[in-house]
A and B are shown apart, each in its own frame.
Chain A
Amino acid sequence: MNMKHLLTLVFIGFFISNYAQEPLKTAASSKEAKIVDEIDLSDSDIEIFKEQTKQKVEEFQQHIVTIGSKDQPAERRSMAEKEALKLFFKGAEMQTSVIMPDGSVNIQSRTMEKYLARLKSLPYTTVVIKFYDLVYISSFTKGPDGRYYSSATVIQEFTGFTGDNLVYKDVTKKEIEIVIDLVEDKFFNEKKWRVFLGNIKATETKKV
């Protein structure tokens, strides 16, 4: 066997070996699989994603404040409702859990459309919604669809007034599903990572 044949065999062997290692979308046992947390993401990518997530969550918080504010013009509140919905993946739901006076927990699930519409028509003359400055964002994990998934936690203080009387106040913790998707920007003809919000789990932590 001359050198040429040997090199050809090495090349074929290398090709087959690479082909065999081609990622397959089948489940691997955890023994074979490596830790997936943050894999394929550099520290700078994570920082960018976290910053973008924070901005998107703050945008959502601002819309919530506007939608709930009865002193804002109806047009502006409706606009905020529409803009808020644009932040979400289609079909996103809000699951709320409320502590009942007997100590039991009442869990309800609504589409994001219904949740925001309901927020606009709450039976109070004045509604004040404030958010704490903490936004906790978990690590990013790649899903089988190539998107990255994370969760952000925000805490909201809600106060409802009838006239001058405070009639309802609670503190709610919201866990927001975060999806980072690679979308095509047709204007610049390039693909960009974009942050979307998904399902939200809202837990009432304190009734004041």
Chain B
Amino acid sequence: MSRAIFLFFGLILLAISLNLNAQKSFNVSASLRTPAEYHLQVKQFGEFVDRFNYKTDWKGNSISDEFAQKIPRANYIFYLFNSEDERLTNPNDSSYRVLCSEFIAFIDEPNNSKTITLFSEQVKAYTIVNFMYFGKPQKAKVELTPEVLHDRSAKWVISSVETDCFAAIGDSLRTHFIAPNSHETSFINTKKINGQTNPIYYFSTTLATNSTMLFLTEAAKNRIKIQTIENVVYYISFPGWKITVEEFNRTTTNSGWLISNIEKMSLKN
């Protein structure tokens, strides 16, 4: 009897052990050691912001004193520039190099260092949206901005759409309108809106030709079908400066989200 009990518990232990091993094998067994260039590349835009703000090192850990001693912020920011930009190596023109140095000095100013706050008016994103409109492929340049709500949550919102696919609206505006003498008949012509598939024709030309408004109304009618999104570019502003951040998809250590341009702005901007 005791032998049977011993065997029973032995089987249970074996089953538990096998089950534990099965759960362990859920980890990616065939994972490879990540090549160094993938640690160095700026994989996400948020990672760019964290590195720019001197918050995290190349492995995503908080900046330690040891790291700070080896790589001061000014040097670290320089790794965030597109090093293949010819303006950085042009022997005949050093103006962009000087501008970059001036910008880094501005960001890393002692006792007045500047950072990027993602969810603020400091950051704007632009992207190219490919969509189908009346069976034809079209493109639109879409501006997105972050919006912060009172409950401290956040979201991105579309703030403008630029596209030339609504150019034909000019013809419709010549045939759909409220006649110039309508004021004499108590604007009865306003009723023309009733049953109209596109009542925007009867609104001010500024509104009726506004591509953001037209994109919105056409999307509401299910006439727009977004296919893919490409070429995301970020513009980040600081007092007197504007930088452009783009994704450089290449295999070198200097790749991912990098500064592609720096502009000095007048302080009014």
Q: Does A141 contact B (CB under 8 A)?
A: yes
A-chain residues with CB within 8 Å of residue B43 when the two chains form the complex = 136, 153, 173, 175
Which B residues between 119 and 147 are near A, CB-CB below 8 angstroms? Answer: 119-122, 130, 146-147
B-chain residues with CB within 8 Å of residue A59 when the two chains form the complex = 26
Q: Does A163 contact B (CB under 8 A)?
A: no
Q: Does B17 contact A (CB under 8 A)?
A: no
A200 nearest CB across to chain B (Å): 13
Contact A142–B153 (Cβ < 8 Å): yes
Q: Does B30 contact A (CB under 8 A)?
A: yes
A115 to B119, CA, bound (A): 32
Q: Does B262 contact A (CB under 8 A)?
A: no
Q: Does A25 contact B (CB under 8 A)?
A: yes
A105 to B232, CA, bound (A): 14
CB within 8 A of B31: which of A133, A151, A206?
Answer: A133
Cβ proximity bits B141-160 to A, threshold 8 Å, 1 near / 0 not: 00000111111111101000
A206 nearest CB across to chain B (Å): 5
Cβ proximity bits A151-173 to B, threshold 8 Å, 1 near / 0 not: 10101010000000000000001
A105 to B26, CA, bound (A): 34
A100 nearest CB across to chain B (Å): 13
Interface residues of B, dominant DSSP: loop
Q: Does B14 contact A (CB under 8 A)?
A: no
Contact B28–A58 (Cβ < 8 Å): yes
**How big is the A interface, by class?**
35 or more
User: Which of A29-37, A118-126, A182-190 faces chain B?
Assistant: A29-37
Contact A30–B151 (Cβ < 8 Å): no
Contact A27–B149 (Cβ < 8 Å): yes
CB within 8 A of A40: which of B27, B33, B60, B152?
Answer: B152
Q: Does B186 contact A (CB under 8 A)?
A: no
Q: Does A109 contact B (CB under 8 A)?
A: yes
A130 nearest CB across to chain B (Å): 5
Contact A26–B150 (Cβ < 8 Å): yes
B-chain residues with CB within 8 Å of residue A134 when the two chains form the complex = 34, 38-39
Which A residues between 88 and 106 are near B, CB-CB below 8 angstroms? Answer: 95, 97, 99, 105
Contact B148–A36 (Cβ < 8 Å): yes
Chain B residue nearest to A61 in the complex (CB): B28
How many residues on chain B are close to A (CB under 8 Å)?
44
Contact A58–B27 (Cβ < 8 Å): yes
Q: A36-B119, A133-B31, A136-B60 are in contact. Are A58 and B26 (CB under 8 A)?
A: yes
Q: Does B118 contact A (CB under 8 A)?
A: yes
Which B residues between 98 and 132 are near A, CB-CB below 8 angstroms? Answer: 117-122, 130
CB within 8 A of A36: which of B38, B60, B152, B251?
Answer: B152
Q: Does B195 contact A (CB under 8 A)?
A: no
Q: Does A18 contact B (CB under 8 A)?
A: no
A84 nearest CB across to chain B (Å): 13
Q: A136-B43, A153-B44 are in contact. Are A27 and B28 (CB under 8 A)?
A: no
B-chain residues with CB within 8 Å of residue A58 when the two chains form the complex = 26-28
Which A residues between 106 and 147 are near B, CB-CB below 8 angstroms? Answer: 107-109, 128-134, 136-139, 141-146
A108 to B32, CA, bound (A): 27
A128 to B32, CA, bound (A): 12
A205 to B31, CA, bound (A): 18
CB within 8 A of B47: which of A28, A35, A138?
Answer: A138
Contact B26–A62 (Cβ < 8 Å): yes
Cβ proximity bits B227-269 to A, threshold 8 Å, 1 near / 0 not: 1111000000000000000000111000100000000000000
Q: Does B180 contact A (CB under 8 A)?
A: no
Chain B residue nearest to A129 in the complex (CB): B30
Q: Does B46 contact A (CB under 8 A)?
A: yes
Which B residues between 13 and 40 are near A, CB-CB below 8 angstroms? Answer: 26-35, 38-39
Contact A33–B249 (Cβ < 8 Å): no
CB within 8 A of A133: which of B33, B119, B146, B152?
Answer: B33
A199 nearest CB across to chain B (Å): 10
Contact A37–B34 (Cβ < 8 Å): no
Contact A34–B46 (Cβ < 8 Å): no
Q: A138-B44, A139-B46 are in contact. Are A157 and B32 (CB under 8 A)?
A: yes
List 11 A-B pairs, Cβ < 8 Å. Answer: A33-B119, A33-B148, A58-B27, A65-B29, A132-B31, A133-B34, A134-B39, A136-B60, A143-B154, A144-B154, A144-B155
